[in-house]
Amino acid sequence: MKIAVIGATGMVGEQILKILEERKLNVTELIPVASAKNVGKHITWNGKTRTIQSLEQALSKKPDIAIFSAGGAISKEWAPKFAQVDTTVIDNSSAWRMDETKKLIVPEINASILSKEDKIIANPNCSTIQMVLALSSLQKKYGLKRLVISTYQSVSGTGVKAVHQLENERQGIQGEMVYPYPIDKNCLPHGGDFLEDGYTTEEQKLVEETRKIFNDNNIEITATVVRVPVEGGHSESVNAELHKHFSIDNIKKEIAQTPGVILQDNPESNIYPMPLFAKNKDDVFVGRIRRDFSQDNTLNLWIVADNLRKGAATNAVQIAAYLIENKLI
């Protein structure tokens, strides 16, 4: 089993390598790939030294699986080339997510739709993954009618330079600015690029990807994305209107039984999800579950996850594991 990791030296790439090692996939050859400036350098993986290779070198080796985390432009150009040599690509960028011919996968929800013919598989956006997983059992039992989403997204979702900006500001160091304003002691209602309708690309992803994963274009969704001065871990406040009546006790039971989700909901003891404690975890944490008394069949939830792990790397590795286990490669 040859697995290539494209973008192996990036924040998500490093997590992919870590999780591949943790989960003990039967990898006979690991092919770490990075930009030209890093080709020839060495990393340690699974106790052995590995040499970073170029995309061309990796392509010539025809890996069984290539996990891409190097940005949309690289994915658009290179994913089809790997697919042509019968490599199954799992892409972590936005390049293929809304392509009608490509499947958008959260394994706990819809891995069963995958087949051997799927040579480019899209990994959803980090904020989408944690939300749909938390809501998946409710979608099955009650049906989702409308979602109002407010996110509190960490700077690691922007990348390592954004983490450095936050660190510099906290130390009083003048450094490179990734955001148009300081992020320390601040909140930026700005995730991605602004669109003509006033929404951002990050907000649009929450709408479109959620509908595609749940295979339901009738879910009404609106979102506001906010970047907050947290190094890692995304949080979301979600107001969910369901099609059917519910009791809060049954809602909590459904969520607690969802694979990959942990219920943390005991406000009397100050138990609720927080990014500080979600760090380096693969689960999605849900709490602050309560009825919205202003509208029928509606509730509020607070959803937290490590955006670099379940929001990106873990989900990609889970897809790879599913493909291997079900002999789809």
Please count the structural domains in the chain: 2
**pLDDT, tens digit, 9 for 90 and up, residues 68-102:** 999 999 999 999 999 999 999 999 999 999 999 99
pLDDT at 93: 96
pLDDT at 57: 97
Distance CA 255, CA 257 (A): 5
Question: What residues make up the domain containing 316?
Answer: 2-124+312-325
Task: Identify whether 164 is a catalytic site residue.
Answer: no
* E strand map for 60-140: 65-68, 88-91, 103-104, 120-122
- 187 and 319 share one domain: no
- 290 and 153 share one domain: yes
Distance CA 140, CA 297 (A): 15
Distance CA 78, CA 63 (A): 13
Of the candidates 136, 123, 312, the residue with the CA atom closest to the CA atom of residue 232: 312
What CATH number should be reported for the domain holding residue 60?
3.40.50.720
Task: Identify whether 234 is a catalytic site residue.
Answer: yes
Q: In this structure, which amino acid lies at residue 312?
A: A
* Mean predicted confidence (pLDDT) in 63-72: 97
Between the alpha carbon of residue 208 and those of residues 50, 73, 222, the distances in Å are 39, 20, 10
pLDDT at 85: 98
pLDDT at 134: 98
- 227 and 152 share one domain: yes
Distance CA 9, CA 240 (A): 38
pTM value is 0.97
**pLDDT, tens digit, 9 for 90 and up, residues 137-168:** 999 999 999 999 999 999 999 999 999 999 99
Angle at the Cα of 159 (from 154 to 160), degrees rounded to 5?
105
- 281 and 132 share one domain: yes
- 318 and 177 share one domain: no
- 287 and 319 share one domain: no
- 160 and 283 share one domain: yes
Query: Which of 164, 234, 243, 245 is labelled catalytic?
Result: 234
**pLDDT, tens digit, 9 for 90 and up, residues 167-208:** 999 999 999 999 999 999 999 999 999 999 999 999 999 999
Query: Which of 42, 126, 243, 245 is labelled catalytic?
Result: 126
